[in-house]
């Protein structure tokens, strides 16, 4: 049954294992809570004599052994299932563990945290995207996670464990989806003013669909036709846009900001701050600081004519 709370709706073997551990620990803790609060109630009701003292109990070996042994068993049990979980999460699929040259260094995705968006690279292709990760279902992918500035944390609750993105250090995590769908990802480590809007989506496709997506993403959009869009392209290259953003097959090659080669086909803008549509794109360009205060894209105070041109151009980048 789908749940509104992602943690309760795991969609990969790893997330299921996390869910199982969570439920077991929750049930054990709930049981202990009920026993302890029940005993307190019993004590209150039974021994609330107003006069004199209740009969004193100077200890019982059997009881003492029982309340020592029971917690030890519980702690050992939780230790065992936690260890099993860690082994499940870190299990290396045979194709990555083999001693063939390079197998152990194979990386399927490179994710880089930036204040406040995610850069996604697909090694072996020249696809670079932002805030949206496309994967095929049923495949365990090795993801390299790193950071361009401060510590972030890469987290898709329905698919995988959390993993920190640390500047100057590379971390690895397995990402897998059992069924196709769109999974919400978030930054889970406070990283500055717009941390709350550092979201991303993982879109899991059936393998054939994934191949189609990949072919589309690798093709470079046709140069714009029509005056408005052409003017928009010239403006993009002449304003400082091209000093931060890249668009394949143009002079814009910088990777300080999200790659815009296929920006029009993405679901959201500004790492989830607004849905992607021509109107919303215009709102973003008009003043990114109004939508996402403090974000690293300045307000260019563009006039309506320039906004129309830029939107017309960016909308051709499908
Ligand atoms: Cu963050």
**Chain mean pLDDT for the chain:** 92
| pLDDT (tens digit per residue) in 222-233 | 888 889 999 999
Report the separation in Å between the CA atom of 30 and the middle of ligand 1, taken as the mean of its atom positions.
32
What domains are defined for the chain?
105-213 (2.60.40.420), 227-314 (2.60.40.420)
Report the separation in Å between the CA atom of 136 and the middle of ligand 1, taken as the mean of its atom positions.
26
What does each C-alpha distance from 141 to 174, 175, 242 come to in angstroms?
Answer: 6, 5, 32
Report the separation in Å between the CA atom of 99 and the middle of ligand 1, taken as the mean of its atom positions.
37
Tell me if 207 sits within 8 A of 302, measured CB to CB: no
| pLDDT (tens digit per residue) in 288-305 | 999 999 999 999 999 999
Q: What is the distance between the alpha carbons of residues 115 and 270, in angstroms, rounded to a whole number?
A: 11
**pLDDT, mean of residues 146-170:** 96
The pLDDT of residue 5 is 82
Report the separation in Å between the CA atom of 310 and the middle of ligand 1, taken as the mean of its atom positions.
29
Helix, strand, coil abundance in the chain, percent, nearest 5: 40, 20, 40
| pLDDT (tens digit per residue) in 82-113 | 999 999 888 888 878 777 666 667 899 999 99
CB atoms within 10 A of CB 65: 10
Report the separation in Å between the CA atom of 40 and the middle of ligand 1, taken as the mean of its atom positions.
43
Report the separation in Å between the CA atom of 221 and the middle of ligand 1, taken as the mean of its atom positions.
32
Predicted TM-score (pTM) of this structure? 0.90
Report the separation in Å between the CA atom of 162 and the middle of ligand 1, taken as the mean of its atom positions.
12
| pLDDT (tens digit per residue) in 166-222 | 999 999 999 999 999 999 999 999 999 999 999 999 999 999 999 999 999 998 888
CB atoms within 10 A of CB 117: 26
| pLDDT (tens digit per residue) in 303-314 | 999 999 999 999
What does each C-alpha distance from 88 to 71, 84, 112, 174 come to in angstroms?
Answer: 25, 6, 25, 11
Report the separation in Å between the CA atom of 127 and the middle of ligand 1, taken as the mean of its atom positions.
24
Report the separation in Å between the CA atom of 189 and the middle of ligand 1, taken as the mean of its atom positions.
5
Report the separation in Å between the CA atom of 146 and the middle of ligand 1, taken as the mean of its atom positions.
13
Q: What is the distance between the alpha carbons of residues 184 and 271, in angstroms, rounded to a whole number?
A: 11
């Amino acid at each position: 049954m789908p749940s509104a709370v992602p943690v309760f709706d795991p969609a990969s073997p790893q997330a299921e294992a996390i869910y199982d551990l969570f439920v077991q620990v929750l049930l054990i803790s709930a049981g202990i809570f009920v026993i302890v609060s029940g005993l307190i109630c019993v004590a209150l009701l039974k021994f609330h004599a107003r006069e004199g003292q209740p009969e004193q109990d100077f200890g019982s070996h059997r009881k003492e052994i029982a309340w020592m042994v029971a917690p030890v068993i519980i702690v050992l049990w939780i230790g065992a299932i936690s260890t099993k979980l860690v082994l499940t999460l870190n299990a290396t699929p045979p194709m990555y563990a083999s001693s063939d040259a390079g197998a152990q260094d194979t990386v399927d995705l490179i994710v880089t945290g930036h204040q406040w968006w995610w850069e996604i690279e697909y090694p072996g292709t020249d696809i670079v995207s932002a805030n949206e990760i496309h994967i095929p279902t049923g495949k365990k992918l090795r993801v390299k996670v790193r950071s361009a500035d401060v510590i972030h944390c890469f987290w898709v609750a329905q698919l995988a464990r959390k993993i920190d993105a640390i500047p100057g250090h590379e971390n690895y995590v397995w990402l897998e989806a059992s069924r196709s769908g769109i999974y919400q990802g978030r930054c889970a480590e406070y990283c500055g003013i717009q941390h709350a809007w550092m979201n991303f989506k993982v879109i899991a496709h059936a393998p054939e669909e994934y191949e189609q997506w990949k072919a589309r993403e690798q093709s470079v959009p046709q140069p714009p036709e029509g005056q408005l869009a052409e003017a928009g392209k010239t403006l993009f290259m002449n304003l400082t846009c091209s000093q931060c953003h890249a668009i394949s097959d143009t002079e814009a090659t910088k990777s300080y900001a999200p790659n815009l080669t296929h920006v029009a086909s993405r679901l959201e803008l500004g790492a989830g701050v607004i849905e992607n549509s021509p109107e919303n794109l215009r709102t973003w360009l008009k003043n990114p600081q109004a939508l996402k205060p403090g974000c690293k894209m300045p307000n260019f105070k563009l006039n309506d004519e320039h906004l129309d041109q830029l939107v017309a151009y960016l909308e051709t980048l499908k």
